[in-house]
Amino acid sequence: MDLYRLAQPLLGLIDPETAHHLTVRALALGLGPHQTMADDPILACHLWGRSFANPLGIAAGFDKQGEAMAALAALGFGFVEIGSVTPRPQPGNPKPRVFRLPEDAAVINRYGFNSDGHDAVKARLARYRAGAHHPTAPLGVNLGKNKESGDAAADYAAGAALFAPYADYLVVNVSSPNTPGLRALQGRAELSGLLERVRGALPESAPPLLLKIAPDLTEEDRRDIASVALDLRLDGLIVSNTTIERPAGLKSRHRAESGGLSGRPLAPLALAALGSMYRLTEGRIPLVGVGGIASGADAYQRIRAGASLIQLYTALVFEGPSLVGRIKGELAARLRADGFRSVADAVGAEHR
């Protein structure tokens, strides 16, 4: 029985934060759907010495506290990113702080890093890693900073050191619009200082280190980030977080809420930022494309523009978990139709 099909109309009626919470709880209890068929082999990816059965991941912010990792992999995601996690537990912003924009297939959120904190999430990860899980999917841990912290680099360095033994990759998230001053860490000098401290805190055999950036940067900002990323040999860039822009044409009554906008209206911005980062990094750094992906066509376009992996979040809110299988099926068909033998073959094809 597709429990989600029954629950979806009801979830759409209750407030979005409660719906989010209930969905994560249901998944954590094992009530989510399980993909029964193996992924099409054309979707297999190899990156950072890890194997991905498919390139579609669940983006950060859905499972912020690391409660539903096994269920998200079982649902068919090729990898799972949890977080953002802050060092100390913190409540985030006052409610309401999440808004659905159904007419726009979008969400605005200003959660502000509500987090159980490092220790609680680490305990869950340790339990998860001690168990056997099928299918297995690489697991990313997305790091944030406490709102009141005066030393951002110390927060990220602590997270990197703590989670390195449990993560298949780590993400320094300096692009959430809901923590004051956070995005200023994307500036050249700030960023290289920050990333060097994080690198310095990592143990010898550390997982890959990625940086997640905003879609709202200028070309000059992006050039600076690309040069820092190349200089420091960063392992990857996630492009992008939510936008503080409000593109013309938004219809929903919630369009003027403050926070980060995700979903369909973000897609053109995130796609343009991705293509730009691919050019600026000369295809030498793996990119994760995220922002408004809602179909196999979107996924394929993002890969051709330079993404080695892709993620989504908002489309899942509106379409439910059957979307995951649909996107993968469409993507495999498009790759074959254009004569590609793998996802890797198509990465950046548009720039050649």
Ligand X SMILES: Cc1cc2nc3c(=O)[nH]c(=O)nc-3n(C[C@H](O)[C@H](O)[C@H](O)COP(=O)(O)O)c2cc1C
Q: Give the footprint of ligand X on this chain (CB under 6 A).
A: 59-61, 64, 83-84, 98, 107, 109, 111, 142, 173, 176, 212, 241-242, 262-263, 266, 290-293, 312-315
Which of 271, 340 has the CB closer to ligand X? 271
Which of 307, 312 has the CB closer to ligand X? 312
Which of 86, 281 has the CB closer to ligand X? 86
Q: Are 81 and 58 in contact (CB under 8 A)?
A: yes
CA atoms of 123 and 129, how far apart (whole Å): 10
Roughly what angle, to the nearest 10 degrees, separates helices 152-163 and 118-130? 20
> Which of 250, 299, 237, 245 lies closest to 269, judged by CA?
245
What tokens does 341 get? 């033998």
Residue facing ligand X at closest CB distance: 61
CA atoms of 78 and 303, how far apart (whole Å): 15
CB of 290 to ligand X, least distance (A): 5
Which of 156, 313 has the CB closer to ligand X? 313
Amino acid (one-letter) located at 163: F
Is position 176 annotated as part of the catalytic site?
yes
Q: Are 115 and 91 in contact (CB under 8 A)?
A: no
Find the catalytic residue in 84, 115, 176, 276: 176
Cα 168 to chain center, whole Å? 14
Which of 207, 340 has the CB closer to ligand X? 207
Q: Are 81 and 71 in contact (CB under 8 A)?
A: no
Q: Which segments of 131-187 does DSSP mark as H helices, in order?
A: 152-163
Which of 276, 340 has the CB closer to ligand X? 276
For the residues of 219-286, what is the DSSP string, one character each?
Answer: HHHHHHHHHHHHHTT-SEEEE---BS---TT--STTTT-SSEEEEGGGHHHHHHHHHHHHHHTTT-S-
CB of 260 to ligand X, least distance (A): 7
Rounded to 5 degrees, φ, ψ at 22 are -65, -40
CA atoms of 53 and 138, how far apart (whole Å): 9
CB of 5 to ligand X, least distance (A): 21
N- to C-terminal Cα distance for the chain?
A: 46
CB of 186 to ligand X, least distance (A): 13
Q: Which segments of 91-148 does DSSP mark as H helices, in order?
A: 118-130
Cα three-residue angle 210-214-216, rounded to 5 degrees = 155
Which of 217, 340 has the CB closer to ligand X? 217
CB of 150 to ligand X, least distance (A): 21
Q: Are 236 and 208 in contact (CB under 8 A)?
A: yes
CA atoms of 121 and 115, how far apart (whole Å): 9
Query: Which of the residues are catalytic?
Result: 176
